[in-house]
Structure 1
Amino acid sequence: MSALIRLLAAVTFVVAAAGCASTGGDEPPRVVVTTNILGDVTKAVVGDAAEVTVLMKPDADPHSFGVSAKEAAAIETADLIVYNGLGLEEGVLRNVETAKRAGVPALAVGEGVNPIRFAATGDETAGQPDPHFWTDPGRMAKAVDLIAEQVVAHAEGIDAAAVRAGAAAYRAKVGELDAWVGQQVATIPSASRRLVTNHHVFGYFAQRYGFEVVGAVIPSGTTLASPSASDLKSLKDAIDRTGVKAIFADSSQPDRLAQVLASEAGVDVKVVPLFSESLSSRSPGAATYLDMVRSNTTAMVSGLTGR
């Protein structure tokens, strides 16, 4: 009898162990994404093939948001980290670097889309790579492919065919968006394609669609900087010289400085809100990346043409 009991116990242990292994294998791959813009794109690419955790909440500032202890742990145990890179996520980069040193695969998307550099902005970002590549849908189409490739490479057991199909479908939508933006921009007279923003965020957009960036209220690539009196005077002079009709302020940032500058400029300059660095819970607006670009384009056309 004792031999039979030992045999049954051994069989029970083997079955239980097999059951535990099976349960662990059924867990989907985990992808952690830092910013909500890249989070939206990643979800569109992978669909249900992986569990996607997005750290940055809607309407947050990518330059200053941070993570909780639970979110930090999620970063360190991910199958893949997708982050913007190029110095954008100042409050999260330490966590990402820690996870990378521990062997977690990570994709710095901005590094793979042929980044441009900030012009002479007057602060420490001058000459540094510009992280705001998402304002150029052409570069975002490249980002879609990068994300799909890395998910397939590092998410063990994922349905690679489904991910590649999702990437192809979403890339087509981004291509349609790019064409639509070009059509809308074409309705703005060439002499009116000049931008003044809260900080330097639309360099890629300007390059792709033929705009001149006249200046920024905060002459920096980050919202964490502050303008000086001489910065405001220089921008005022540029506005007077070029006849800019609108200042475009980030919807997630107070536009007080832009309002003050518009008043000081002594010209009829509107302050137009844009969704430049974050998706938004406000409606209508920027619930998705595609929505955000469409909303911004419509606002720019209206602000620069008076329509």
Structure 2
Amino acid sequence: MTTVSPITNMVQNIGGTYINVTGLVPAGTDSHTYEPAPSDVKTLRAADMIIVNGLDLELPTLILAKKIKKAGTPILQLGNRVLKEEDWQYDFSFPREHGHPNPHLWLNIELVMRYAEIIKENLIALDPANKQGYLANTATYLAKLQKLDQAIFKCVATIPESNRKLITYHDSFAYFAPRYGMTVIAAVQPADFSEPGPQEVISIIKQIRKTGVPAIFGSDVFPSKVMEQIAREANVKFIDQLSDDELPAPPNHSFIGMMVSNMTVMTEALSGNPTCMANVDASNSAF
């Protein structure tokens, strides 16, 4: 059992035909506020392994899982294994005083490659008979991730240096930005996931004008008319097509496909060359 769609897809690619994967969080659902449904109890009880992102993203699910899972079922918190606590990020949507770090590690492909290694090791421990299959699947997947990682660097290199700034609705890019040479200027959504107030809106408009960013970004999971208002008043483009956890429609229905879509949209909006993603393989392995 997994939680958010990107992690579900990673596990599917590494596990292949050797495992059955159930993703708990429905597509298009806000993973931060998701509460397990009564029907999830059966899934959690049946699971041989529970794989979550961690860093406090799935607290209600974790609490329930610990109560009802089989005694021998491990709970794998990927983010907690990949990053030491001193490297956790706190920011606009995740202020330190609230005690919950930004959990969006999977937008940094270097960290995803470490996720993949941890998933592989734990699947082999669970099912050693299929070790060679897991090793082969992981090698294939890591090769795709490495090409994606390289392509993201190429995309950012085509964006004028003055435009390598992100203003988003939800603060999903805290681990992405420092790896790829971008800066998160602001996130519009307050830490309590409400809509921003008038003073916050005015402050963000001033920031946009001061920094000269040509576009601001929203997402389908967090629809916000406030973003449209901010873009209109600041005279910049509003792009509502970035995704931090919703996978695109087929044929690129994969985590890599999500990142290809994100980078194509982001690069073009910030006056870069979106063809940088043209040679990335977004297909899934057989599962």
Same fold (TM over 0.5): yes
The answer on 1:96 being equivalent to 2:65 is yes
Aligned residues: 270
Higher strand share: 1
* Aligned-pair CA distance for 1:148: 0.9
Describe the SS at the equivalent of 1:176. Answer: helix
Whether the 8 Å CA contact 1:246–1:272 is kept in 2: the answer is: no
Identify the match of residue 210 of structure 1 among 170, 181, 187: 181
Distance 1:294 1:232 in 2: 30
Aligned to 1:117: 89
CA RMSD of aligned residues (A): 2.4
* Aligned-pair CA distance for 1:99: 4.3
TM-score (norm 2): 0.85
Residues 99-125 of structure 1, C-alpha deviations (whole Å, 9 max, x = no match): 469552011011122253123658566
Alignment CA distance shift 1:234-1:184 (3 Å): same
Alignment CA distance shift 1:94-1:127 (3 Å): closer
Alignment CA distance shift 1:60-1:122 (3 Å): closer
Residues 104-147 of structure 1, C-alpha deviations (whole Å, 9 max, x = no match): 20110111222531236585666743210111111100000011
Describe the SS at the equivalent of 2:241. Answer: strand
* Stretch moving more, 124-133 or 143-152: 124-133
Aligned to 2:233: 264
| 1:72-111 aligned within 5 A | 72-99=41-68, 102-111=71-80
Larger Rg, first or second structure (1 or 2): 1
Whether the 8 Å CA contact 2:160–2:272 is kept in 1: the answer is: no
Aligned to 1:18: none
Higher relative contact order (CA 8 A, sep 6+): 2
TM-score (norm 1): 0.80
* Structure 1 outlier segments of 4+, above 3 Å: 99-103, 120-128
Q: Show structure 1 runs of 5+ residues with no match.
A: 1-31
Q: Show structure 2 runs of 5+ residues with no match.
A: 274-287
Identify the match of residue 258 of structure 2 among 292, 297, 302: 292
* Aligned-pair CA distance for 1:156: 4.2
The amino acid that maps onto 1:181 is: I
Describe the SS at the equivalent of 1:169. Answer: helix
Question: Sequence identity of aligned pairs in percent?
Answer: 30
Whether the 8 Å CA contact 1:35–1:62 is kept in 2: the answer is: yes
